[in-house]
Amino acid sequence: MQQSQLLTFDVFRGISQYLSIKDLLNLQSVSMQMKDNVQLALKALLASIGFNNPNTTTPYNIIFRTIFGRETYFWSFDESVKPFKRRHILGMPVKSIQIGLTYTGILTIQNRMYICLSQEYQEVINQKPKFIIKQDIQMHIFKRFQVKQYSAASKGKFIYLKENGDLIVMFDNQEEYLISKNVEHFETSYYQLVAIFTNPQKIPQLPSEQTRAILYQLQDLTPHNCDQAQKYKQIILPDNEIITQVAIGSSAIYYLTKTQKVYSSDTKNEQVIDPIIKTVHQNYFDKRSIISIYSGLNYFLALSRESIKSIKEWTNEELQVWLAKIGFSDYVNIVKYNEFTGLEFSKQAVLQDFQINTLGLTNAELQIKLSTEITRSMELQYKDYQLFGWGKNDYGQLAAPLSNNVQFTKVALPNLDEDDEIIQIECGWKNVAILTHSGKLYLTENQQKQIKREKDIQQQQQQQQQQDEGGKKRKKSRQEPKDIKDQKEQKEPEQQLQQQQQSKYWSDISKIFIKSNDKREYRHYYVNLSKDYLVVVCSIFDKKTMLNYFPEMLEQKEMQKKFKPTLQVIDRILWDTKFNKEDFIVGYEDRFLGIMEVPFTDFIISQVKSHRVQYFKQKGKIVWDRPRRLDLL
The domains located in the chain, with CATH, are 3-52 (no CATH), 311-378 (1.10.150), 563-631 (no CATH)
What pLDDT, on a 0 to 100 scale, did the predictor assign at position 250? 83
Could you write out the three-class secondary structure of 580-602?
CHHHEEEEEEECCCEEEEEEHHH
- For the chain, list residues with pLDDT below 50: 1-7, 50, 55, 83-85, 87-88, 131-137, 271-272, 474-502, 549-550, 553-554, 557, 560
Length of the chain: 633
* Strand order from edge to edge, sheet including 506-508: 422-427, 432-436, 441-444, 506-508
CA dihedral 388, 392, 395, 397 (to 10 degrees): -20
Q: Computed from CA positions of residues 581, 587, 590, 595, in that sequence, does the dihedral angle turn out positive or negative? A: positive
> Which residues pair with residue 529 across a beta bridge?
534
Determine contact, residues 247/187, Cβ cutoff 8 Å: yes
In whole angstroms, what separates CA 304 from the centre of its chain? 15
Helices 364-378, 566-575: axis angle to 10 degrees equals 140
- The DSSP symbol for 516 reads T
Q: Are 585 and 592 in contact (CB under 8 A)?
A: no
Burial class (CB in 10 A: 0-12, 13-18, 19+), 147: buried
Kindly state the helix (H) or strand (E) to which residue 276 belongs, with its residue range. Answer: strand 276-278
Task: Give the pLDDT confidence score for residue 380 in this predicted structure.
Answer: 61
* Cα–Cα distance for residue pair 250/255, rounded to 1 Å: 15
| Cα 403 to Cα 395: distance, rounded to the nearest angstrom | 9
Per-residue model confidence (pLDDT) at position 490? 47
Instruction: Give the C-alpha distances (Å, rounded to integers) separating 115 from 107, 171, 428, 553, 613.
Output: 9, 12, 20, 35, 37
- Upper half-sphere CA count for residue 43 (Cβ side, 13 Å): 14
Terminal Cα-to-Cα distance of the chain (whole angstroms):
35
Distance CA 457, CA 214 (A): 47
Q: Report the DSSP beta bridge partners of residue 113.
A: 107, 144
